[in-house]
């Protein structure tokens, strides 16, 4: 009889310990890490910019992400994603200005802290001013002269160049990656001293200022 009571006590004790363990395990859930946020720091109004965030949950729980920024930018909670898997969020900034963007994550029970703030500048970016064109100092009338230049773009967009030969504009060239060397050719029909400049545009039609000029002397003949 005593042995039966002893077995029952042990079973009850084991059941209590199991319940306590389960309860303690549930209470020990830790919040996800504060996310790391990535994305562009420049853009134009109404462009669709893509940002990403990733956080880690120590228990390996799936996570949701929530983006917010000044100017009323709020994403709402995302779908569920595995811990450590990068989440992508599209954002549109309507007006020019300086914006902050931050993100937090949550599992089924707790939220993380906010990520570090990502600053985003929104304005009407144009290509930068091209490099001063380079070419020969002197050329004969009716000979073909070649000049070249290059230009960068603050958003990394492709660019096209147009040369001003001093006696007329050339055609816009093909679009190339920013920083690529671009050549153009011209024939002068009248002797004189000419200034050669160039400017750039991107695919959205934004045009840079003209570059500094380079001079070329056009002569009837060259004597050595």
CA distance 198 to 186: 13
Q: What is the mean pLDDT of the chain?
A: 89
Q: Which of 23-27, 29-33, 216-220 has the lowest mean pLDDT?
A: 23-27
Q: Write phi, then psi, for 71 (nearest 5 degrees).
A: 80, 20
Rounded to 5 degrees, φ, ψ at 11 are -65, -45
Tell me how long the chain is.
Answer: 224
Quick one: what percent of the chain has pLDDT higher than 70? Answer: 87
Local confidence band at 2 (pLDDT 50, 70, 90 cut-offs): low
What is the rounded distance in angstroms from the CA atom of residue 13 to the CA atom of residue 200?
A: 81
Delineate the domains of the chain, giving CATH numbers in brackets. Answer: 36-122 (2.60.40.1930), 138-219 (2.60.40.10)
pLDDT in tens, 117-132: 999 999 999 999 999 9
Q: Is 139 exposed, middle or buried (0-12, 13-18, 19+ CB in 10 A)?
A: buried
At residue 4, the pLDDT reads 55
- What are residue 74's DSSP bridge partners? 68
Burial bucket for residue 152 (CB in 10 Å: 0-12, 13-18, 19+): middle
Q: What is the mean pLDDT of residues 126-152?
A: 97
The answer to whether residue 113 scores a pLDDT higher than 90 is yes
Q: Distances in Å between the alpha carbon of 76 and those of 20, 26, 65, 115?
A: 36, 27, 8, 16
pLDDT of residue 13: 56
DSSP bridge partners of 196 = 214
Three-point CA angle 124, 126, 131, nearest 5°: 160
> How does residue 46 score in pLDDT terms, banded at 50, 70 and 90?
very high
Nearest to 183 by CA among 208, 166, 202, 160: 160
Quick: pLDDT tens for 61-110.
Answer: 999 999 999 978 889 999 999 999 999 999 999 999 999 999 999 999 99
pLDDT at 71: 79
DSSP state of 87: E
- What pTM did the predictor assign? 0.74
Separation between Cα atoms, residue 61 and residue 84, nearest integer Å: 10
CA neighbor of 101 nearest in space, from 146, 42, 148: 42
Q: Could you report the per-residue pLDDT of 169-205, keeping only the tens digit for each?
A: 999 999 999 999 999 999 999 999 999 999 999 999 9
**Distance between CA atoms of residues 38 and 86, nearest Å:** 10
């Amino acid at each position: 009889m005593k042995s039966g009571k002893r077995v029952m006590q042990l079973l009850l004790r084991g059941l209590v310990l199991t319940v306590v363990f389960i309860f303690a395990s549930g209470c020990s859930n830790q919040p996800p890490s504060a996310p790391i946020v990535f994305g562009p720091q420049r853009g134009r109004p109404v462009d669709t910019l893509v940002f990403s965030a990733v956080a880690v949950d120590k228990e390996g729980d799936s996570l949701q992400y929530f983006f917010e920024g000044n100017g009323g930018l709020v994403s709402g909670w995302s779908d569920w994603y595995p811990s450590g898997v990068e989440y992508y969020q599209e954002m549109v900034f309507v007006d020019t200005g300086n914006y902050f963007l931050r993100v937090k994550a949550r599992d089924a029970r707790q939220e993380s802290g906010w990520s570090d703030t990502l600053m985003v500048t929104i304005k009407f970016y144009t290509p930068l001013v091209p490099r001063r064109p380079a070419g020969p100092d002197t050329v004969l009338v009716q000979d073909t002269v070649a000049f070249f230049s290059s230009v960068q773009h603050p958003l990394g967009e492709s660019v096209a160049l147009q040369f001003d030969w001093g006696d007329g504009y050339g055609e816009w060239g093909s679009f190339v990656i920013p920083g690529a060397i671009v050549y153009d050719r011209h024939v002068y029909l009248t002797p004189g001293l000419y200034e050669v400049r160039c400017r750039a545009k991107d695919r959205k039609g934004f045009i840079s200022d003209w570059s500094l000029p380079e001079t070329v002397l056009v002569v009837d003949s060259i004597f050595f």
